[in-house]
Amino acid sequence: MPQLYVALATPFTSPHGPPDLAAIGPHVRWLEAQGVNGIVPCGTTGEGPSLSLSERKAVIDTCLSERGGLNVIAGTGCANLPETIAATRYAIERGVEAAMVLPPFFFKSLSDDGLTSYYRAVCDALPNGSKIVLYHIPPVSQIPITTGVIDGLLASHPDMIYGLKDSGGDAEYTALLIKRYPSMKIYTGGAPLFTRAIADGAAGGIFAIANIFPRELRAIRDGGPDAAEAQAKAIQITNIFKHYGAVSAIKALMPRLDLPASSCRSPLVNMSDTEADALLASIEALKH
């Protein structure tokens, strides 16, 4: 069966405050009760690039201690090689199933050779048996993970390249990756594309909106009589979130849905109460 992962939001005490580690456990336990398969902390929705290395380690440790029966894939990609190695090695050694590694995102127009060399250096620094999930999210990183990069990594580190999260928004590219790389687990990062990705043979999906709407994504995963309706709702929710910004929208809705309240971290901005009320009204209107 396809796997449903939550791109876990990181709670903060304030826009300039530390991660609110105590708020992670109740959220994770609620998600497990909703039937998700795993969590992915410290990714885009988790504001990973806004975390220091020590903060990232603390969030990963907290998720592992609160995981229950959930799988954990930790986001460990940083803007530089030494911190990416340190974060990835730490996560692997602490017991995550895999580490999801974003490309180094400051320098643009990277060559395939440059990006391949970067990922090879990460792999070479890890213990035997480590698993890496490549993170393709060019709308944000502006650095695509091409088939040339994947081919090179599979040639040098076939046992370490476990999978890829495709958040590029192109269902055809996801389908190409699934067909071309049967040894890899390909996850879609686009909730509107979940049904299509499953039909094409994806290993599952990793979604931001699953933080607060896991039941809809679970219905799609399970493929029952409610799957088509759930997919339509996931598309509508995603479109609404685009207007507000996904991270800000998730954190505005969580306390209104009896989940732990938290702040975004600067430079992301928390929504006003008026905006949050309007957002909730838009979501509630989908029920009618």
Q: Assign residue 143 a region (left: φ > 0; alpha: ψ between -120 and 50; beta: otherwise).
A: beta
Tokens 């043979």 map to which residue? 201
Catalytic residue (choose from 5, 90, 131, 165): 165
Sign of the Cα pseudo-torsion (164, 170, 171, 177, in order)? negative
Instruction: Show Cβ contacts of residue 239 under 8 Å, excluding neighbours closer than 6 positions.
Output: none
d(CA 122, CA 69): 28
CA distance 136 to 151: 15
Can you tell me the distance from the alpha carbon of 154 to that of 109, in angstroms, rounded to the nearest whole number? 22
Could you confirm whether 173 is annotated as catalytic? no
Contact 189, 166 (CB under 8 A): yes
> How far is Cα 41 from Cα 6, in angstroms, rounded to an integer?
8
Token pair for 232: 């339509």
- How wide is the angle at C-alpha 140 spanned by C-alphas 3 and 209, nearest 5°? 40
Q: Which of 90, 118, 119, 135 is catalytic?
A: 135
Give dist(CA 282, CA 226) in Å, integer: 21
| Catalytic (active site) residue 135 | yes
Report, as residue numbers or ranges, the catalytic residues: 135, 165
